[in-house]
Structure 1
Amino acid sequence: MNPARCRILAVGKVRKSWVQEGIALYLKRLPGLTITELRDSTPEKEAEAIRQALRPDEVPVILMEQGKTIDSVTFASRLGGYGSQRLAFVIGGADGITAELKASAAWQLSLSPMTFPHELARLLLLEQLFRAQTIRAGSPYHRA
């Protein structure tokens, strides 16, 4: 998984400084990965902004509670399966993602059966992307 081939599209801003610090740490560890922040609005307007922000060559991965939960090793393997394709991880706003946008996703992913604020979901996703990179590189960071 090449971080430069991944992007996060996230609705809303990160306001908590401790979450901002964690995000900054993982972005340093994942050079090339970017986060595009989109305005909070209604789910329909957010879906339109997400569709507009998606590049034609990106495979959308929607993060949602009802998505598939997988362990970190499986996540790393799945990312590796995309090879040189570009991935766009989409984190919706507080009111969720429209059914149409969910249906358009190549992959629906759940970080946990629990619900997290979008700020924490962003930080958790970054950590898992870093962990996936270290798993694929054989680094001792991941101890299962």
Structure 2
Amino acid sequence: MLNPARIRILAVGKVRKSWVREGIALYRKRLPGLTVVELRDSTPEREAAAIRAELRSDERLVALTEEGQSLDSRTLAARLAALQASGEASRLAFAIGGADGLEPTLRSEACWRLSLSPLTFPHELARLLLLEQLYRAQSILQGGPYHRD
């Protein structure tokens, strides 16, 4: 089972587009307890330092990067459930970098590098896509009607 209260999104930059904010609000309402932390845009090194400073000692870092592992929604759901079920990664922090992406050293420190797509997305859209996929994963794991094969 997926526990949204044990998931945080550490996202660089503000969401400026109203339609993206509306989508984010919708999925945050569907994922009670999930936290989104907005960090200031800066250089990749400063953004990485801010992410490290925000990361809790009991959280495992998941770096969103186009070079990361690309999964279908069912496999993503299973992987998230397995990570949360294991004692070592029951809390997850997904990091979304700014315009230049995540700093390479931070990416290498992550327990998992995830790609939402081989395409490159603006950080605002990546945040919305991640939230939608987390909601879809929860629905898959609960046997809900949201995801259709």
- Which bin holds the TM-score, normalised by the shorter protein? over 0.9
Which among 104, 107, 128 is matched to residue 102 of structure 1? 107
**TM-score, length-scaled by structure 2:** 0.95
User: 1:68 matched to which residue of 2?
Assistant: 69
Which among 115, 121, 134 is matched to residue 116 of structure 1? 121
> Aligned partners of 1:66 and 1:14: how far apart in 2?
24
> Cα deviation per residue 1:97-144 (whole Å; 9 max; x = unaligned)?
111101000000000000000000000000000000000000111001
Shift of 1:96: 1.3
> Cα deviation per residue 1:3-45 (whole Å; 9 max; x = unaligned)?
0000000000000000000000000000000100000000000
Residues matched between the structures, number: 144
Which among 64, 70, 94 is matched to residue 89 of structure 1? 94
Q: How is 1:54-65 mapped onto 2 (pairs within 5 angstroms)?
A: 54-65=55-66
**TM-score, length-scaled by structure 1:** 0.99
SS across alignment from 2:14: coil
> Cα deviation per residue 1:38-57 (whole Å; 9 max; x = unaligned)?
00000000000000000000
Structure 1 runs of 4+ with >4 Å offset? none
Structure 2 gap ranges (5+)? none
SS across alignment from 1:143: coil
SS across alignment from 2:11: strand
RMSD (Å) for aligned C-alpha atoms: 0.7
Does residue 143 of the first structure (1) align with residue 148 of the second (2)? yes
Which among 133, 138, 141 is matched to residue 133 of structure 1? 138
> Aligned partners of 1:125 and 1:97: how far apart in 2?
16
SS across alignment from 2:94: strand
> Aligned partners of 1:26 and 1:99: how far apart in 2?
29
Structure 1 gap ranges (5+)? none
> Aligned partners of 2:91 and 2:115: how far apart in 1?
19
> Cα deviation per residue 1:63-107 (whole Å; 9 max; x = unaligned)?
001001000000000001022610000000001111110100000
